[in-house]
Amino acid sequence: MTPSTPPNPLREELEDDRLPPPCTMVIFGASGDLTARKLVPALYTLWKERWLPPAFAIVGVARRDESDDAFRARMREACTRFARARPVDTADWDAFAAALFYHAADFDDPRGYVSLAARLDRIERARGTGGDRIYYLSTAPAYFATIVERLAAAGLLDRDRHEPARRVIVEKPFGVDLESARALNTRLLACAREDQIYRIDHYLGKETVQNLLVFRLANGIFEPLWNARYVDHVQITSAEAIGIEGRGGYFDAAGIVRDMVQNHLFQVLCLTAMEPPASLDADDLRDEKVKVLRALRVPSEADLRDGVVRGQYTAGSVHGRPLPAYVEERGVAPDSATETYVALRLLIDNWRWAGVPFYLRAGKALPKKVTEVALVFKAPPPVLFSVRHRAAREPNVLAIRIQPDEGISLRFGAKVPGPSTEIHPVTMEFRYGSSFGREPPEAYERLLLDCMLGDGSLFTRGDEVEASWAWIGHLHRHWASGEAPPVAPYAAGSWGPTEADRMMERFGVRWRRP
């Protein structure tokens, strides 16, 4: 007998085909931070809002010994703190917790997978889930291939059968360079089909990222302008006001390019620049994203010298809170040259974007947390207004804010009331919260639901991962050669190194201040 889910009046307004079939989600790494902060709170919210089927189960797998009841108590505390659907009351939680189970196993030990198989069979019979399974790899990257190989060896991941469904969600980082990404793809594809592998990037689950395509392709006034004829340049910014928050050991080996650019910013770049797909099917969407990555111009020595800036924050303050220098953070080498900031100038050599620069920047310890895409349009001919009115030379800007305060703004020139023809820039704004009157879902809620439905359109494909690493490799080889300029310092709480501003001045533009 399976529990019923609570009523949700919004379900009447939404697509019936978004309710997934019965399934079991197995989370490897259930003792980790991601499970507590994101995964189980997202699943709880989906259940409470009636997006999960009545027949479902969640099985946490980790090395340490823990009972089902202890796991449930720990996850209740996590949902109380982090779930979007709060408060968590006893009646709601008791019904959800009945679907939570815990299984102790060592990720390397084949015997743990034999016992997991027997446990899953018992849970699926009790819960009526029907055999569909999703394996979520929320572990250290070194275990990704090992877990998939052990699942396959234990008969838990059938590569040749399509029913019942067997899917694997792989967290980032998916490799640290092209060679490691290819090696990981090879090992995974020896055990599972490409359509069974869901490489997750939570940025693709954000409402505004998804709205990029809707905004472009469902509105006839914008798509005709979305090209080199009208757009002067594009800026994509991902700024964080925090430092590395205790992740020194990981971040010092990765840097901001591996941590943010290769995955998050390149995904936003692809959705901004891609051609309209043949359909909204997963492979049609991902085909167009791969084309963008393959069209990125291979940087010359001059491109790497003039169009790339890397920086590292020094001591300062953000929002009045003192922040130590990066090299003083725990886990960071005192002589580290790891970049905490990067600015890039990219060119896409295709018909739509030929000659239009894309400026990307990402950084830690900046003045505010914000991620946005800004299309800066070309100025009209300076015949009537631009010569006499300085404000008329301000470009029109279409800005799509991904986080926080998700929304879209359009800046244009307007005449100031009065007898003169004074022109002043004004802004029209749309915000999700005020326009729709409800909070957008968390990214993991959407992505977990899509995987249950077998929809891979918001997940990355293997060739897409490899294409992004292929371009990023040019940066790392250049920096390793010893011929690149040293990492530029910038004070925590500033907008990055002055070298990044000088780079923009060199090309006749300037950074937006979101």
The three-state DSSP-derived secondary structure of 78-108 is: HHHHHCCCCCCCHHHHHHHHCCEEEEECCCC
DSSP character for 171? P
300, burial (CB in 10 Å: exposed 0-12, middle 13-18, buried 19+): exposed
Percent of the chain with pLDDT over 70: 92
Place of tokens 């310092």: 489
268 vs 280: CA distance, rounded Å: 17
Structure tokens at 131: 């055999």
Residue 15 pLDDT > 60: no
278-323: per-residue pLDDT in tens?
Answer: 998 999 999 999 999 999 999 999 999 999 999 999 999 998 899 9
Structure tokens at 246: 């205790």
427, burial (CB in 10 Å: exposed 0-12, middle 13-18, buried 19+): exposed
Task: Compute the chain's Rg from CA coordinates.
Answer: 24
Report the range of poorest mean pLDDT among 230-239, 241-250, 295-304, 360-369. Answer: 241-250
Residue 165 pLDDT > 50: yes
| Mean pLDDT along residues 226-241 | 96
Helix (H, G, I), strand (E, B) or coil at 402: strand
483, burial (CB in 10 Å: exposed 0-12, middle 13-18, buried 19+): exposed
Residue 153 pLDDT > 50: yes
262 vs 470: CA distance, rounded Å: 10
Query: Of 295, 296, 378, 272, nearest to 345 (Cα)?
Result: 296
Structure tokens at 443: 């990214």
Query: Of 506, 106, 104, nearest to 309 (Cα)?
Result: 506
344 vs 353: CA distance, rounded Å: 17
**Bridge partner residues of 412 (DSSP):** 426
DSSP line for 303-368: HHHHSEEEEEEESEEETTEEE--GGGSTT--TT----SEEEEEEEB-STTTTT-EEEEEEESS-SS
462 band by pLDDT with thresholds 50, 70 and 90: very high
Please, are residues 326 and 312 in contact by the beta-carbon 8 Å criterion? yes
Q: Residue 96 CB: number of other CB atoms within 10 A?
A: 25
Query: Of 266, 23, 249, nearest to 136 (Cα)?
Result: 23
> Which stretch of DSSP H or E encloses residue 147?
helix 144-153
Amino acid at 376: V
Residue 386 pLDDT > 80: no
| Mean pLDDT along residues 385-410 | 76
Helix (H, G, I), strand (E, B) or coil at 458: coil
Q: What angle do CA 55, 61, 66 make, to 5 degrees?
A: 105
390 band by pLDDT with thresholds 50, 70 and 90: low
24-53: per-residue pLDDT in tens?
Answer: 999 999 999 999 999 999 999 999 999 999
pLDDT for residue 2? 47
Please, are residues 470 and 255 in contact by the beta-carbon 8 Å criterion? no
Q: What angle do CA 353, 500, 358 make, to 5 degrees?
A: 10
136 vs 395: CA distance, rounded Å: 46
DSSP character for 387? T
Structure tokens at 298: 């291979």
**Backbone angles phi and psi of 500, in degrees to 5:** -70, -35
Helix (H, G, I), strand (E, B) or coil at 48: helix
Please, are residues 504 and 345 in contact by the beta-carbon 8 Å criterion? no
DSSP character for 131? T
Place of tokens 């929320």: 138
Helix (H, G, I), strand (E, B) or coil at 487: coil
Ramachandran quadrant class, 89 (left: phi over 0; alpha: psi -120 to 50; beta: rest): beta
Structure tokens at 243: 């430092």
* All structural domains of the chain: 9-200 (3.40.50.720), 206-375+458-506 (3.30.360.10)
- Helix and strand numbers (H, E) in the chain are 16, 17
Point out the catalytic residue in the list 103, 202, 233, 264: 264
Helix (H, G, I), strand (E, B) or coil at 465: helix
Q: Which residue has the higher pLDDT, 34 or 131?
A: 34
429-445: per-residue pLDDT in tens?
Answer: 887 767 666 677 888 99
Q: Is 264 one of the catalytic residues? A: yes
171 vs 404: CA distance, rounded Å: 23
Distances from the Cα of 256 to the Cα of 248, 251, 493, angstroms: 12, 8, 17
pLDDT for residue 384? 64
Q: Which residue has the higher pLDDT, 413 or 89?
A: 89
| Mean pLDDT along residues 236-250 | 91
Query: Of 297, 171, 311, nearest to 239 (Cα)?
Result: 311
369 vs 407: CA distance, rounded Å: 15
